[in-house]
Chain A
Amino acid sequence: MIFQGTLSRFFLMLALVLAIFLFPAALSRSTSLTQLESAQKQLSAMPASPYLFLGNCALDGRIDPNLFSQLAGGVPTRILTQDGDMSVVWYLILKNLIISSGVRPRQIYLFFEQNDLTLPMERITLPRERLRIANFSVENELILQQILIKNRNFMDKVGEWLYTLYPVQLASQYVADAAVHHFGMLVAQPELGPLYLQKMFSSEEPNLLMEAQSRKVRQMVNHRLSPEFRRRDSDNAGQFIEQPSVVVDPALVASFDFAKQLPKSVLPEIIRMAEEAGLHMVFVHFEPPPSIFHVPGPPPEVLATYKRDLSAYVRQHGMDFIDMTDVPGVEKFRHRSYYVLMPEERPGYTRFFANLVAAKNLN
């Protein structure tokens, strides 16, 4: 190796470069999020036989738990998941929250789209997703580890190592999101400035006016930028437009091969645990997004075969399956994004779903 100067210069430079990359590793994550134990306590405190819902943002935009409870004659109803949750989190919530808390739900509805139930590697890599997994995990999640190992490639391992090295990533996304949101709020509503200052220097509870304004502005922004209000000429509007995919990706089609995907997924474990605990689950495959969104998907016959095999599998184990695609009238609900409905559709969809389960005698 050719060195221009002394070895000490080299090591000094090396130390400086390493300092850049190593100091964030010294910062550990700090989170005030609800931990598993307190979530278990809350669930245990629920009156017997509630309705529990699992899913993600698509479920949240469809089902209003309070309204569903009213429609179900006052039976308490809870959504246990949040935006971005996928099969690994559903598995952990079933195992470490529902079953461990000892609650005996009347019914567990699991809302999913496409082939999410058999894609364990979906949405497990981003900071939020990792935090959700960490929050619902107990110390030795052997089965989960085995499933993840089965599906993990070299780059996934590198990614995991980076998260271990920089745990600060896990919680900080919330901080970054909050900072940019509040900055936007201050520009949009400068009259809230004094309240922000007050909040910065006090440890009091969040100001209700600020919270309400914050929610209102977020809703206004989401509403204004929703696909419902897209340009009519958007197919010609340049590079920002999502173009329909003309080529069917073979890897996508392969991911809909139920027989091949099942052993790699958490679904068999979900079913086994539910059976052992005597829980009844209803798997709800909700309707695909309208065609205007050009969401890449498998050919219809591939999706139909997948749903047929999945339905047969869960029914064979005494669980139920609802294919929302088959339900007339579901197409009337307007979408905000691919899978999320417009906020004003939520009550209507809740009633629609409550009537459906009543008609199918699933409640």
Chain B
Amino acid sequence: MSFQSIDYILFLLAVVPVYWMLGLRVQNVMLLLVSYFFYGYLHPWFLVVIVTSTLFTYGFGTVIAKAVKPKRKYFLVAGVTGNLLMLAFFKYHEQLLSLWWAIAPRQETNGVVFNILLPMGLSFFTFQNIGYLIDLHRKRITSKANLLEFAIFVAFFPKLIAGPIERANAFLPQTINERRFSPEGVRDGVYLMVLGFFKKLVIADNTAVIAGKISLAAEPDFYLLWAGLFAMAVQYYADFSGYTDIARGSARLFGFKLSQNFNHPFFAVNPADFWNRWHMTLTLWFRDYLFFPLYAALAKQTQLVGVQIGGSVLVTFLLMGLWHGTGWNMVAYGVYHGVLMLTYVIVGRAVQTISPGFQLTNLLRVPMMFFFFMLGLLIFREPEPAVLIQMLSLSPGGASESEFVVASYLWGQAFYYSLPLWLQPLVEKWRQRMVQGWIVGFDTVVAGVLFLSILTMRSLHPSDFVYHQF
């Protein structure tokens, strides 16, 4: 079941009232059943995968919690490896098989294709499971969950398909402790969902048409290429953050609070700031479970700070790229962001050494970072290295007048749709300054205007959520 279908709204309308009439234990049973229904509605086969993953991780989690050193570590390695193998089997089997055939060619099996369906959301819940096992090993999980509560942690439908990637410490207490019905919670949930649907149906779906058509155009000139990348940046942000808003809003209807995943990334002033604002739960996951351990491991091996930081940053970003897929462009995307981050660190330090306290104005830093973000999207989008190089070599001088008019027109349209994203922080600031009593009325008016805009401005070419494919 997809968030943007009427089926989903009917599903919520049917489930939420019943849910609040039940006691905690039955609520939990119901949550698990409706989550499995939601997932099985996409494809019944997915249920086998998620149940297996849940039982496997819970089993290893129980063993890790009880075991003593050094066995704890062995169980952790086995549990994490099992989860990664499952992810690799479904997500990377084609690439792994190609690699295997390249190493050990056998005529009778070479080129055989296995049509294995990738269970939606597998990357997201596998990462959650790995985080759970590591946190157990580090003794950072304070709440002891039973199998039912853990199964909800894995399968809770609002976050199942594309996150946010939750931490056990933040989520499990919500499944264990009693949840109280709060009219304000339901109201906030509805507001968030309306905002999410607006971002998806009005902004993302309309800019997707522009971005999609330009990405298909043969030999675009400089202006058309960048108009397309601008539209793509708007589409991806509105699509993914819209999804997250709907997920968070839906969770609020059930008394759950999910993590924030975006914080106005278009206003990031440097690469570090960007990754603190974009897909925040994934960034934090990589920081806590990969970057820090890797940095610590490298620090034990070498005294060279450059190697410690450089190695851990590059490996972390490379794996973040590979998380999205296995094409060379995903590798390049990860390396690009790693290099960008390191460049920022090195240049920043050099500038501070030469001129302590120097800082560019945000009026320059924000557009610069936005440009680097769009450049990253170009790498992400292009599977052909030759095409990428050709596009990177385009110069503003070589464009024809008609191409400039076409590019300006399309950029203008994409900018028109993106306006709410640029204005959102201002509106939020304004809201924060309001008297408490006015905020409720203000939110209602904003949500009403957004809902009217959904009715009147939604795209006639709806598309699936971009992050469903990861």
- CB-defined contacts of B216 to chain A, threshold 8 Å: 225, 230-231, 234, 237, 240-241
| A240 engages B215 (CB within 8 Å) | yes
B213 within 8 A of A: yes
| B387 engages A233 (CB within 8 Å) | yes
A229 within 8 A of B: yes
Cβ distance A245 to chain B, nearest Cβ, rounded Å:
15
| A231 engages B217 (CB within 8 Å) | yes
| B451 engages A168 (CB within 8 Å) | no
Residue from B187, B382, B410, B451 within 8 A of A16 (CB atoms): B187
Residue from A3, A13, A14, A24 within 8 A of B452 (CB atoms): A24
Complex interface bits, A1-41 against B, C-beta within 8 A gives 1, otherwise 0: 11111000110111011011101100100000000000000
| B183 engages A12 (CB within 8 Å) | yes
B180 within 8 A of A: yes
Complex interface bits, A281-298 against B, C-beta within 8 A gives 1, otherwise 0: 000000000000000000
| B460 engages A179 (CB within 8 Å) | no
| A24 engages B10 (CB within 8 Å) | no
| B457 engages A230 (CB within 8 Å) | no
Chain B interface, number of residues (Cβ within 8 angstroms):
56
| A21 engages B217 (CB within 8 Å) | no
- CB-defined contacts of B409 to chain A, threshold 8 Å: 184-185, 187-188, 217, 220-221
A186 within 8 A of B: yes
Cβ distance B295 to chain A, nearest Cβ, rounded Å:
34
- CB-defined contacts of B183 to chain A, threshold 8 Å: 4-5, 9-10, 12-14
Residue from B182, B194, B412, B447 within 8 A of A4 (CB atoms): B182
Complex Cα gap A169–B384 (Å):
42
B21 within 8 A of A: yes
A173 within 8 A of B: yes
- CB-defined contacts of B440 to chain A, threshold 8 Å: 16
**What band does the interface of chain A fall in when counting residues whose beta carbon is under 8 Å from B?**
35 or more
Q: Can you name the residue of chain A whose Cβ is closest to the Cβ of B210?
A: A225
- CB-defined contacts of B410 to chain A, threshold 8 Å: 184, 221
- CB-defined contacts of A237 to chain B, threshold 8 Å: 215-216, 382-384, 387
Stretch at the interface among B42-50, B339-347, B399-407: B399-407
Given A126-B460, A184-B412, is A168 in contact with B452 using a C-beta cutoff of 8 Å?
Answer: yes
Complex interface bits, A164-187 against B, C-beta within 8 A gives 1, otherwise 0: 001011001101100111011111
B287 within 8 A of A: no
- CB-defined contacts of B169 to chain A, threshold 8 Å: none
| A180 engages B413 (CB within 8 Å) | yes
- CB-defined contacts of B182 to chain A, threshold 8 Å: 4-5
| B7 engages A172 (CB within 8 Å) | no
- CB-defined contacts of A169 to chain B, threshold 8 Å: 455-456
A238 within 8 A of B: yes
By a beta-carbon cutoff of 8 Å, the part of chain B in contact with chain A is: 6-7, 10, 20-21, 180-184, 186-187, 190, 194, 206, 211-219, 224, 381-384, 387, 402-403, 405-406, 408-413, 415-417, 440-441, 444, 447-448, 451-452, 455-457, 460, 466, 469
Q: List 18 A-B contacts (CB under 8 A).
A: A17-B190, A19-B448, A20-B444, A24-B455, A155-B6, A168-B456, A172-B457, A180-B413, A185-B412, A188-B406, A188-B409, A188-B412, A220-B409, A224-B217, A224-B224, A231-B217, A236-B384, A237-B215
